[in-house]
Structures are given as C-alpha cells and as structure tokens.
Structure 1
Amino acid sequence: AGRCLWAQVSARCQPVPVPQRYCQDVYRGQLASVHSAARNQELQKLARTYKIISPWIGAVTSRRAGQWESYWEDSSPWNYANWAPTHPFHIVTTCTTLSIRDGLWRSHFCFQLRPFICQY
C-alpha cells in the first residue's frame, strides 16, 4: 500500500546487509516483503523474468526473547509465509530467498552472495 510495484531486481550478488542499505539509499525502500500468495507469485515471476534464481527477500529468522521467530526487515506484519519443508532454520540468524522454480522460501546464512529484490 502506497508503494510502487517491485521495480528493481539486482543481479549483483551481495550479502544481505549490502542490499538492505542499497534498497534504502538508492530507492528509499526495503528488501521485498511478501503478504499473500499472489504477491509471492508476482515476485517469483519477476525474478524469473530477470533470470534471477534465488534472490534475497526481506524475511529474517532469529532468536528473540528466547524464541525463534521470523519477521520482515521493513517491520510490516508477519501474515503470510511460504517456507520449503525443513525451513526456516533454527540454528543461527538466517535470511531468506525466494525460489523461482517452486516459489518456496529457504533459509540461508545472511553473508552468502545472492541477487536481491527491492520494494519501494
């Protein structure tokens, strides 16, 4: 609501802290958050168009107040999830990718180099 559609997919592989800053500094946006199956499919299709296999989205899973939880970097409500079986990991803080093959989300260490999707 109030944001442009997903207008930027970067093929430049970066660990998550870099895309977070890039989305903020260049677009005044965030890594993409997903709140419905329709939006998930839209992002999957967008990434496929750019031939981006598993881009970062803005979901993070970490231990907070003794409990593992997933949340959006942009602080929007956590009201939808599309995790692959056995995900998210509950070992260390992880970031999330969206698969263009099956649309499922998978946990990865945040320092891995991957392309990303900004929303603004």
Structure 2
Amino acid sequence: MKLFLVLALALLGAVSARQIHEGHLKQEGTAEQDEVKPGEPEPPCPTESESFRMTVPGEEGRTYRYVAVNNCQTFWNADKLCARCYRGRLASIHSESVNQKLRNVARCRTNQGQVWIGGTTFHLFWHVNCSWIDRSHWNYSNWAHGNPHRRFLWKKCVALSTSGGHWRNIGCSTSMPFICEY
C-alpha cells in the first residue's frame, strides 16, 4: 500500500525523486519557496555596468525588450530580480531569430558560457514536460544534443549556451548570468 501511495504522489508531482530516495514523504514546496532563506536580504538590482538592455522587433509590429544581466544568480533568484527590478520574467524564446539575437548579446556581454532563460523541464518516466515560467506557449526549442536530460522525476531549468545558442537543462541552483524579458 505504501508503494502505491508513493507512486501516486510521484505521479501527481507532490514528491520529488530525492524525497522518495531518502524516504521522506512530506509535500514539497515550490522551487521558488525552496530558494527563500529567512532573514537573508534580497540582492540589489543590477547596476547599469552589470546589465545591457536591448529591443528586438517581433511579429505583428510588437517590440520585445530584454536585459542581459552579468550578475550571477540561481534560476529562481534571477527570476525574482527580473520581476522586482524590471517588472518582467526570465526570457521565453519563441523563434530562431530571437534565440540568435539573445545568444549574441549574452556572448558579448557576459563572461560565462551560458545564461538562464525562463524555461523549466519536468521529467516523468519517459515524458519530458517543457514550460516557460511566464506561461507562454512552448512553440520553439533549440536543445543541445542529449538535452533535455530524461531522468525519472527530475525538475531542471533551461540555460542558453553563449557559444552555439543551444539549450541545456541543468540544476536550478547553479549561479549564472541571466536574460530578463520585460
């Protein structure tokens, strides 16, 4: 009976693989909540020297605004800074042209090999669920070979490679530069 309950909770996303492996069956908080440390001050907004703003023309005359930030943060802290400092979210990418423009900016303006963008992946058995944290439609991807990794019950965050523009899913607690869309 206990195995059935664990499997049912895992299928519903209520427990993580780590909790199953360690034998903990408490409900897990959201990834954002896991990053919050009581009493720790929020990081300051990036300075002008730590960021680069750009606009990209889109379809139907719409203009997209981005800021590449060279200040390394974990995925969820980067998204919080996007919201607090720019009233936006980590960037969602919906076309090859935008992907290449953001890669070029990240390559020229950061000193890292990859930057956070606003995608997450969740793996359940052989199925990989990809989503943007701004809840926009997942209609484009540019995965590097072997990505997204397919591990049982594993949530990862998406990074854009500054060398080739391909995406990789990696642990959300990794600190790296990021791109906000606002």
What is the TM-score with the length of structure 1 in the denominator?
0.90
Describe the SS at the equivalent of 2:85: helix
Deviations 1:39-94 (A, max 9, x none): 10010011012034200000100147x94210101000000000001101222100
Give the conservation status (yes or no) of the 8 Å contact 2:69–2:110.
no
**d(CA) in 1 for partners of 2:123, 2:170:** 15
Q: RMSD of aligned C-alpha atoms?
A: 1.7
1:81 to 141, 154, 177: 141
Q: Give the percent of matched residue pairs that are identical in Structure 1 and Structure 2.
A: 36
Which residue in the other structure is 2:87 paired with?
28
Describe the SS at the equivalent of 1:13: strand
1:111 to 173, 178, 182: 173
Describe the SS at the equivalent of 1:55: strand
Unaligned runs of 5+ in 2: 1-57
1:18 to 77, 94, 98: 77
Give the conservation status (yes or no) of the 8 Å contact 2:90–2:133.
yes
Which amino acid is the alignment partner of residue 17 of structure 1? W
Pick the structure with more helix per residue.
2
**d(CA) in 2 for partners of 1:5, 1:29:** 10
Report the Cα offset of residue 4 of structure 1. 3.9
Please identify the structure whose Cα radius of gyration is greater.
2
Which residue in the other structure is 1:55 paired with?
115
What is the TM-score with the length of structure 2 in the denominator?
0.61
**d(CA) in 1 for partners of 2:139, 2:64:** 20
Which amino acid is the alignment partner of residue 55 of structure 1? V
Q: Where does structure 1 differ by over 6 angstroms across 4 or more consecutive aligned residues?
A: none
Give the conservation status (yes or no) of the 8 Å contact 1:3–1:119.
no
Deviations 1:93-119 (A, max 9, x none): 000111111110011100011110001
Unaligned runs of 5+ in 1: none
**d(CA) in 2 for partners of 1:90, 1:32:** 23
**d(CA) in 2 for partners of 1:79, 1:4:** 17
Are 1:100 and 2:147 counterparts?
no
